């Protein structure tokens, strides 16, 4: 079987592997949580949140691919299987059933706040280890922070 | 909180709810499994399978939305959270790490075969209960069967 | 004058004619009622409903054409003149003048609920008579039920 | 309930209200009459007229929105309900059933001739009252006159 | 050599195989006959028919692919070779040389009438055997019936 | 240095110069005020207003160019520098810092009401002097009045 | 032979006929003169003028169609044959052979100045006779004046 | 003044210059004649011919540019001024005023027949002199012959 | 019935008629053979060949139209009926049933080699008779040779 | 009123706030100054500079939005009002009236040089405080430096 | 290893191989020289030449691919490696460092003049050997001559 | 002659000049090497590699422009002439003639590995000297590493 190797090795590779796998799980579960809310949402602000949640899923899907493919390019096998996501996610999970709009705005604010904090740690952790991976983490963080603001603003 | 009601009730609604929730879990996990293989694939047929797996994820994402929103339109709350998917999925799960191209083609053939069989049961189950939901299940089955053929053909 | 004939005749043709003419009137009047609300709407949720109502008009316009042209293809002359619509419509009519957003959401929910019920009857009625026409009725019902849910959700 | 006010008041507002409401009814019924002919048309010139009639419906739909929204912007509630259209339309109504191509060209020529005449009166009436509304009426008249010519040319 | 298998077997598979192969031959020959008329057409209605015949070829090409690929997905090898088409086609064949517009409209009406009748039989035959294949046959029949009407209308 | 001359001179030119320069300042400051609100907005109606304010900036930017280039085409040098805008603007200025949604709707209603009134004066002033410039002022006023209505409607 | 009639008659029609025919000849010859310069241009500013001249031809072609079709819609037969254009054009004609860039800028400035003056006369002449035709003349004049400025600016 | 020189000189250049200038005049006048008929056309086949004539103008405009720019690239100054066209055109000119559809089809057939004949002579004349110019003449002739056939077919 | 005549007659016309009719049959049968392989293909290189075969069908469809319409423009009636194709095709026919990828590459190489040889003969045959038709045959040969290379390269 | 908070606090937040507000004022005034020159430009290089200045306005508008929204995402209220811009801008202001092309190139070179210097200081200042904001400043600086070069090159 | 063979052999193949390889080197080096000037250009005509040079690179890139792939289709291995280009190019090479606009126009005129001359020789050389390759050489020569003219015109 | 200066000077400028010139040569030669393989490739995996190699050329072309224009913006004259590339390239050069697919995958893996290593050195070298240039180098490295992985995966 072909082996994939990339520009990193040793500690640098381990550091980046951890950062990217963590980011991957955050983004996959964000895409699922946002869809869950997109579907189960009720309330007078339905349309605004319904559409914004799809933007969140869209950005999560775009960046999960970039992050996972960066891992592969470094010779790191990414793990995005449902069991892995469900076991290792750090996102607070929504209850089952219908969710009111106010609660969605508050919950998404909290979820995005948590992801942003972890992304900042990953940005710091990868600065020396791999500026190329860091640049991708910076790009996703900018978009997550923007969504965080917009959910906050309409709480 | 607003209550969502639709054209069905009683047994018909329960039958359709079960069919749609089952289809939803199949499609979400299909999207994750295909991405996992898209990323971890190695072998001389890499490019062909890498691209085809993205088509599978794309079709799974498109149809998971249609299926879940049909459930909502019937007053049925869909559940697409990672824990639910991981707990109730019927898809055989890929091992972690790199996967060879031949194995991917074989695995995807099996996975799609299983989903197609369950979809045919759902098509039968919903025929009386809700021809509108049935029509959506027929549409997704056609695309799944097509992917099933194409993975088979290149085993 | 050319005569238009199609694959149906006798009772089957009559059954389908009634179903399609009924659907046509429902869709034309839905397009007018949604525009009326689109224009006369006031309230803090103005923008969300203003845009959604245009989606309703758009889907009504698209499907009225498909339905009427199916009738023609069967040799059935469709009647979409304003007097016919006004005389035979079953849609509860909005009052003249400005309409508040909450009332619009409630009214549209009721209107779409009524159309969906009639569409389900037409789906049943045409199943034996003409599965091709039935398929078009199923397609429009799916979109109507989706709009019905979204107005409900934001009442 | 929010009140909508605009730049006009008194006689000017009344004059413009009458002009815009008249134009709105003309355009809505034109969209319905053109569709009716689009569907029920027969004759060797079928395709040319079938396509041109859809252009008429399209222009009527585009301008009915502009006209109605101008009314709203002036604080005038437009009325485009089917009963209003059916009761106040000045368009000669087509008979039910199939219509031959030659008759369609002649009928559409007459209908557009009538609308153009009324539009010219509205252009004159609004010149002092509201040049902004007048400009919209001029724009729609130009397109109506063009269609009028093209139906004439192929009688 | 890889074997292609799908969700059907036994009588159901045979029934569907016959329906899809029959539809395939109808559609391939329709695409050729329509092109033949598209090229050899003369008469004052040249342009209308010339353009409409290309729409027929286009729809025949689109659906022949869908139908043949459905067959493959069921493990049925489709046969679209020129000898097969020429030997098994049921379409009345146009004479060689120039064809007048009136004759084209009449011929195409007859050809489409025949295909529609066979398609209705296939829709009925596949209802139990495979609702997924049936749905594709319904979709193509709707478009064929529409073309049938439009050629009829301009005879 | 090239001199730019156009079709007007004398009083007519002065009248039009004043109208266009006034419109230019109104539109530039409108683009800035709308962006300021777009960024500083908070409240449960955030998304609707955030998006609508960008439409306002967009229309202001489009028309400021048309207006300024009309001035140049008449040999009138337009002045759109920040000091000129800040010194001569007639728009009530928003306070610094975050702004609540309700206040934004009310403020924008007032601002647009003021601009519309001044635009009507300019339309009247340029009628004799230059119907070409007048036509551009009419076009921008129509769009401003439409935005005025939509902010009003959701106060 | 079909006769084309429109909303005007008598003096009004004659006035508008003269204005539109004059505008038509101006625009056709402008399109030819600009192409002639586009091809025969030399000089260090070649590229800028070569591209701008094509914009002039493009605008002349767009508006000649609008103007001529307005004439037809009024029952006035437009005359755009080469002999008519060559005999009645008021545009100063370029010499044959290569033309230097500075001369092109100067010549186009003069030509557009002349057309603009005649267009202003036509705008005045049609104000009472037909505001719909006047509106088209205003629109073309705005674009001509803009080109006039831009050639001036680079003399 | 810059002088433009290209790959040809002497007799070859003269031969090509004559061929390209002749083609240019044919194409410019074709664009004008087709527009003249596009505007002045009446008759029951109005729409088909009205649209086809615009295709002729479009192809004439595209190729006149290619032909003239080939001349320039060879150092030959093309002459497309209205007086030159009017004086040297070989196209039979339409009468002024309205033209019936049958006459248009016949006239355009004759005009295109004449241009095609001259183009064949130019193709032969340039074969030795400049195969690059010949290739452009071949390309335009193919499109002209196609239009010639289509007008013929509907006489 | 209208007669179609073009720029050729006598031997030249016969020569070109034979070349174009031969090319037409080659291209129609190529489109069918490539689709047959596109559907019946199996093997690990499935995806690459499946997609390339569709490119072949696409180019065959595009050029069969150009070739047939050139024939018509010369007054030659093309014959593309299935019986004609099946009887006169020179393409070696694939066996029925599934085809392995290696065999497809080899077969397509042979088929394209044969067509290219015949096209070269046609290019030679038409050089004197009609350079316009020759140019179309050259264009299609270039694309066929390119496909020929790419199938060869992956045998 | 909702409060907006982001990932920064204390000195880091203040540092970034100052950098982003400074960049915002630079970019807003750049968009106004470039438009001022776009409109008031004269000289033989008019077209090149006229178009390039619009690119500058376009990039300034795009990045002012990114920069201001980054501030908001950090809980920092941006201030882009005309008075703020006019009072705090560091851009040398153009004189009123027409501006010659040579002077525009020189002035824009100076203005962009100044902004680039301040941007480099902001890039340095935010490196520790917020790498996400720094990345946006780097992106805008790259585009500004490119424009700086291109104005320089044509002085 | 697969061998690539095409329709030519012997002297014809050698002749064409030499022509295509020569054209390939010309086009690759043209793409590099034009980019070199695109980057190093200074002078008041910067923008016009900067953009035109990119058009040259674009056309060189497009045609180098067509030329090289024609070679491959004939079984001729093309050589586009940097050492080959650098060793065998016949293009006069620009000096390193900044280049003034006037010099660029003159240099590009010379370079294109030389390539055109060589292309004409290749067109002649391939006429008998391979009319299909000749047609591609004709097409690229036409575009090169056009660029040659435009650089000449602005010297 | 205009001098180009940018934000850097002294050692920083020299460091960045070396990094950017090195990257430029890497990217230009990568574009040529990838095209060479794109054309000369044979083997059963032809299509996959043929297409991927074009993606490599495309990314090399895009980034060579960004890198060279960054150099210019810093006042550094980039050198991309064929002799410079051929003399200073560090890419192992492919042999002339046909290349088998397996060898291409291996060679491209090595080439991209080498470029990536040099890019990482340039990223480190420019970190202090110019973060704006560094950001461009990071962006290109990410895409190169991705291609490196994909060639590796299919060796």
Q: What percent of chain E has pLDDT over 90?
A: 97
Burial of E5 (0-12, 13-18, 19+ CB in 10 A): middle
| CB contact burial G85-106 (16+ within 10 A = b; e otherwise) | bbeebebebbeeebbbbebbbe
Virtual torsion, Cα B42, B47, B48, B53, nearest 10 deg: 70
Closest C-chain CA to A42: C153
Distances (CA, A) of F8 to A128, F18, F24, F126, J121: 67, 13, 19, 12, 49
- Tens-place pLDDT, residues K72-117: 999 999 999 999 999 999 999 999 999 999 999 999 999 999 999 9
On whether the CB atoms of residues E68 and B140 are closer than 8 A, the answer is no
Going residue by residue through chain L (155 aa), what tens digit of pLDDT does each one get? 778 999 999 999 999 999 999 999 999 999 999 999 999 999 999 999 999 999 999 999 999 999 999 999 999 999 999 999 999 999 999 999 999 999 999 999 999 999 999 999 999 999 999 999 999 999 999 999 999 999 999 98
C-alpha H91/C-alpha B127 separation (Å) is 69
Q: Is B6 on the interface with A (CB under 8 A)?
A: no
pTM of the complete model? 0.97
- Which residues of G are less than 8 Å from D123 in CB distance? 131-132
Mean pLDDT of H76-92: 98
Q: Give the H/E segment covering residue J41.
A: strand J41-42
- Tens-place pLDDT, residues B96-111: 999 999 999 999 999 9
Query: From the candidates J47, J148, J153, J155, which should be mutated to test the interface with K, based on the most K CB atoms within 10 A?
Result: J153
For residue G83, what pLDDT band results from cuts at 50, 70 and 90? very high
Would you call K148 and H2 a contact, using CB atoms and an 8 Å cutoff? no
* A95 phi and psi angles, rounded to 5 deg: -65, 160
Tokens coding D74: 């002036």
| Residue located via tokens 């050589």 | K79
C-alpha B153/C-alpha I98 separation (Å) is 10
CA atoms within 13 A on the CB side of F81: 16
Q: Is D42 on the interface with G (CB under 8 A)?
A: no
Closest approach of chain L CAs to the CA of A68, in angstroms? 11
Cα-Cα end-to-end distance for chain I: 52
- Tens-place pLDDT, residues K9-18: 999 999 999 9
Mean pLDDT, chain I, as a whole number? 97
Would you call D65 and C35 a contact, using CB atoms and an 8 Å cutoff? yes
Q: Is H138 on the interface with I (CB under 8 A)?
A: yes
L3 sits in the region (left: phi over 0; alpha: psi -120 to 50; else beta) called beta
Confidence (pLDDT) at A140: 98
Would you call H145 and I6 a contact, using CB atoms and an 8 Å cutoff? yes
Q: Is B44 on the interface with L (CB under 8 A)?
A: yes
Report ipTM (2 d.p.): 0.97
C-alpha J30/C-alpha F69 separation (Å) is 19
- Tens-place pLDDT, residues A91-119: 999 999 999 999 999 999 999 999 999 99
For residue E92, what pLDDT band results from cuts at 50, 70 and 90? very high
* L99 phi and psi angles, rounded to 5 deg: -130, 135
Closest CA to C29 of C107, C87, C102: C87
C-alpha D73/C-alpha D92 separation (Å) is 31
* D97 phi and psi angles, rounded to 5 deg: 90, -175
Distances (CA, A) of F1 to A28, D142, G110, H100: 62, 43, 18, 56
Q: What percent of chain B has pLDDT over 90?
A: 97
Would you call C146 and B69 a contact, using CB atoms and an 8 Å cutoff? yes
Does chain I reach chain J with at least 3 CB pairs under 8 Å? no
Closest approach of chain F CAs to the CA of A103, in angstroms? 12
Chains linked to K by 3 or more Cβ pairs within 8 Å: G, H, I, J, L
Closest approach of chain I CAs to the CA of L39, in angstroms? 10
Would you call L132 and J141 a contact, using CB atoms and an 8 Å cutoff? yes
Would you call L153 and B48 a contact, using CB atoms and an 8 Å cutoff? no
Residues 6+ apart with CB under 8 A from D113: D148
- Tens-place pLDDT, residues A57-90: 999 999 999 999 999 999 999 999 999 999 999 9
Q: Would you tell me how many other CB atoms lie within 10 Å of the CB of residue H1?
A: 11
Mean pLDDT of J118-138: 98
Instruction: Return the number of CB contacts < 8 Å for A and L.
Output: 43
C-alpha J68/C-alpha J57 separation (Å) is 16
Q: Is I139 on the interface with K (CB under 8 A)?
A: yes
Mean pLDDT, chain K, as a whole number? 97
Mean pLDDT of H71-99: 97
- Which residues of H are less than 8 Å from G35 in CB distance? 64-65, 68, 80
3-state secondary structure of F67: helix
Taking only Cα atoms into account, the Rg of chain C, rounded to an integer number of angstroms, comes to 16
* pLDDT tops 80 at residue B125: yes
- Which residues of J are less than 8 Å from G151 in CB distance? none
Q: Which residue in H117, H127, H138 is closest to I132 by CB distance?
A: H138
C-alpha D58/C-alpha D62 separation (Å) is 6
- Which residues of F are less than 8 Å from D136 in CB distance? 142
Closest approach of chain D CAs to the CA of E41, in angstroms? 15
Would you call C2 and E148 a contact, using CB atoms and an 8 Å cutoff? no
Burial of J95 (0-12, 13-18, 19+ CB in 10 A): exposed
Q: Is A8 on the interface with B (CB under 8 A)?
A: no
* pLDDT tops 80 at residue A134: yes
3-state secondary structure of G5: coil
Q: Is K1 on the interface with L (CB under 8 A)?
A: yes
Q: Is L52 on the interface with B (CB under 8 A)?
A: yes
* Residues present in chain G in total: 155
For residue H155, what pLDDT band results from cuts at 50, 70 and 90? confident
C-alpha C35/C-alpha C99 separation (Å) is 12
Confidence (pLDDT) at G3: 85
- Tens-place pLDDT, residues A29-40: 999 999 999 999
Closest G-chain CA to D137: G132
C-alpha K58/C-alpha B28 separation (Å) is 44
Confidence (pLDDT) at H132: 98
SS3 letters across chain H:
CCCCCCCCCHHHHHHHHHHHHHHHHHHHHHHHHHHHHHHHEECCCHHHHHHHHHHHHHHHHHHHHHHHHHHHHCCCCCCCCHHHHHHHCCCCCCCCCCEEHHHHHHHHHHHHHHHHHHHHHHHHHHHHHCHHHHHHHHHHHHHHHHHHHHHHHCC
Confidence (pLDDT) at K3: 85
- Which residues of D are less than 8 Å from F149 in CB distance? 4, 6, 69, 72-73
| Residue located via tokens 């006019």 | J86
Would you call I149 and K7 a contact, using CB atoms and an 8 Å cutoff? no
Q: Is E86 on the interface with I (CB under 8 A)?
A: yes
* Residues present in chain A in total: 155
Distances (CA, A) of K1 to D144, F66, J126, L40: 69, 65, 58, 12
Q: Is I77 on the interface with E (CB under 8 A)?
A: yes
Closest CA to E20 of J26, G32, B142: B142
**Cα I125 to the chain's mean position, in Å?**
17
Distances (CA, A) of D36 to B47, D40, I155: 53, 6, 59
Closest approach of chain J CAs to the CA of F11, in angstroms? 20
Would you call B120 and E69 a contact, using CB atoms and an 8 Å cutoff? no
C-alpha L146/C-alpha L123 separation (Å) is 17
Would you call B52 and I50 a contact, using CB atoms and an 8 Å cutoff? no
C-alpha G13/C-alpha G70 separation (Å) is 12
Would you call A153 and F42 a contact, using CB atoms and an 8 Å cutoff? yes
- Tens-place pLDDT, residues C102-123: 999 999 999 999 999 999 999 9
Mean pLDDT, chain F, as a whole number? 97
Would you call H85 and G82 a contact, using CB atoms and an 8 Å cutoff? yes
Would you call J2 and A146 a contact, using CB atoms and an 8 Å cutoff? no
Confidence (pLDDT) at G45: 97
* J41 phi and psi angles, rounded to 5 deg: -70, 135
DSSP string, chain L: ------S--HHHHHHHHHHHHHHHHHHHHHHHHHHHHHHHEESTTHHHHHHHHHHHHHHHHHHHHHHHHHHHHTT------HHHHHHH--SPPPPSS-EEHHHHHHHHHHHHHHHHHHHHHHHHHHHHH-HHHHHHHHHHHHHHHHHHHHHHHT-
Confidence (pLDDT) at H2: 72
Q: Give the H/E segment covering residue B42.
A: strand B41-42
Q: Which residue in D36, D85, D100 is closest to C1 by CB distance?
A: D100
Closest approach of chain A CAs to the CA of J25, in angstroms? 21
Closest approach of chain H CAs to the CA of G114, in angstroms? 18
- Which residues of B are less than 8 Å from L154 in CB distance? 42-47
Chains linked to F by 3 or more Cβ pairs within 8 Å: A, C, D, G, J
Q: Is J81 on the interface with F (CB under 8 A)?
A: yes
Closest CA to F144 of F7, F34, F12: F34
Does chain F reach chain B with at least 3 CB pairs under 8 Å? no
On whether the CB atoms of residues I53 and I38 are closer than 8 A, the answer is yes
Q: Which CATH superfamily groups domain H11-78+98-152? A: Ferritin, core subunit, four-helix bundle (1.20.1260.10)
DSSP string, I59-118: HHHHHHHHHHHHHHHTT------HHHHHHH--SPPPPSS-EEHHHHHHHHHHHHHHHHHH
DSSP string, J62-90: HHHHHHHHHHHHTT------HHHHHHH--
Q: What percent of chain D has pLDDT over 90?
A: 97
Closest G-chain CA to H64: G35
| Residue located via tokens 């009407």 | E149
User: Which J positions 88-127 lie with beta carbon below 8 A of chain K?
Assistant: 102
Mean pLDDT, chain E, as a whole number? 97
* I89 phi and psi angles, rounded to 5 deg: -65, 145
Closest F-chain CA to A149: F42
On whether the CB atoms of residues A33 and B85 are closer than 8 A, the answer is no
C-alpha I101/C-alpha L44 separation (Å) is 10
For residue G155, what pLDDT band results from cuts at 50, 70 and 90? confident
Tokens coding G85: 């254009």
Would you call L51 and B50 a contact, using CB atoms and an 8 Å cutoff? no
Q: Is I43 on the interface with E (CB under 8 A)?
A: yes
Does chain H reach chain A with at least 3 CB pairs under 8 Å? no
Give CA angle at B134 (B128, B139), nearest 5°.
155
Q: Which residues are bridge partners to A100 per DSSP?
A: A42
Mean pLDDT of E122-149: 98
C-alpha L124/C-alpha L137 separation (Å) is 10
Instruction: Return the number of CB contacts < 8 Å for D and G.
Output: 43
Closest CA to L131 of A70, A135, A137: A135
Confidence (pLDDT) at C155: 80
């Amino acid at each position: 079987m072909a082996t994939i190797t990339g520009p990193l090795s040793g500690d640098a590779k381990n550091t980046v592997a951890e950062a990217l796998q963590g980011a991957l799980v955050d983004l996959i579960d964000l895409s699922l949580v946002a869809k869950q809310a997109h579907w189960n949402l009720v309330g007078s602000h339905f349309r605004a949140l319904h559409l914004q949640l799809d933007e969140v899923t869209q950005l999560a899907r775009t960046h999960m691919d970039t992050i996972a493919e960066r891992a592969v390019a470094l010779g790191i096998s990414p793990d995005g299987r449902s069991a892995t996501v469900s076991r290792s996610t750090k996102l607070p999970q929504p209850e089952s059933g219908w969710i009111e709009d106010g609660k969605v705005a508050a919950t998404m604010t909290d979820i995005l706040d948590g992801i942003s904090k972890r992304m900042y740690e990953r940005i710091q952790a990868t600065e020396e280890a791999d500026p190329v991976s860091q640049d991708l983490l910076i790009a996703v963080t900018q978009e997550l922070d923007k969504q965080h603001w917009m959910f906050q603003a309409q709480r």
